[in-house]
Amino acid sequence: MSNKFEITALVLAGGAAQRMGGVDKGWQLYAGQPLIERMMALVKPFSVQQFISANRNLERYQTLVDDVITDVAPWQGIGPLGGLYAVLDKLNTSHLLVVPCDTPRFSDAALQHLLENAQQAPEMVHFMETVSGPQPLHAVLPVAALKQNLPEFLAQAEYYGVMSFYKQIGRRAVHWHRDEELVNINYLDQLEP
């Protein structure tokens, strides 16, 4: 693993989207473009490698990245930590950037701010926070700590909370002043910008 601050990006698109009626959220259009394409375009300039965590329409997602990550046993269906676990053996950079597919207003400036903060204390997890509260799925994680701690956390946890896992590594909130950039698209009527 490199000593340089290098980023692998993981875009999370593996959820069930129950509040959207079970559609594949990543392929829903926002301002005429699929959510997943917007997020991939955002993370690509900041990362040396990109993955998508998905559990359906894998061939379609494969057109956007070199590798699509699917949840693996026994951690299928546990949420975002399942996606993080599934990518562990693919990581060879110092840090992992995680973003969900459903925040199409997230900006280059916000992402740059997150990464700059992560570089200042690279041993900790850094996650975005706005006046609405923490946004744990917009985060930068140190890969060594992720690999060391996640399997044990999952084996012992009764609840697979992302923030609980971050606390085990050490976490720091990165405040962002534009709350609207981190609004999740959870309903079909939110797709109109």
Let me know: does 49 contact 2? Beta carbons within 8 Å: no
- For residue 39, the surrounding DSSP H or E stretch is helix 35-43
CA distance 38 to 137: 16
Beta carbons of 127 and 46 less than 8 angstroms apart? no
Check whether 141 is labelled as a binding-site residue: no
102 known member of a binding site: yes
- Do the annotations mark residue 96 as ligand-binding? no
Q: State yes or no: 12 annotated in a binding site.
A: yes
25 in a known ligand binding site: yes
Q: Is 173 annotated as a binding residue?
A: no
Q: CA-to-CA distance for 69 and 53, rounded, in angstroms?
A: 5
Cα 125 from chain centroid? 12
Annotated binding site: 12-14, 25, 71, 102
Question: Which segments are annotated as binding site for Mg(2+)?
Answer: 102
Binding residues for GTP: 12-14, 25, 71, 102
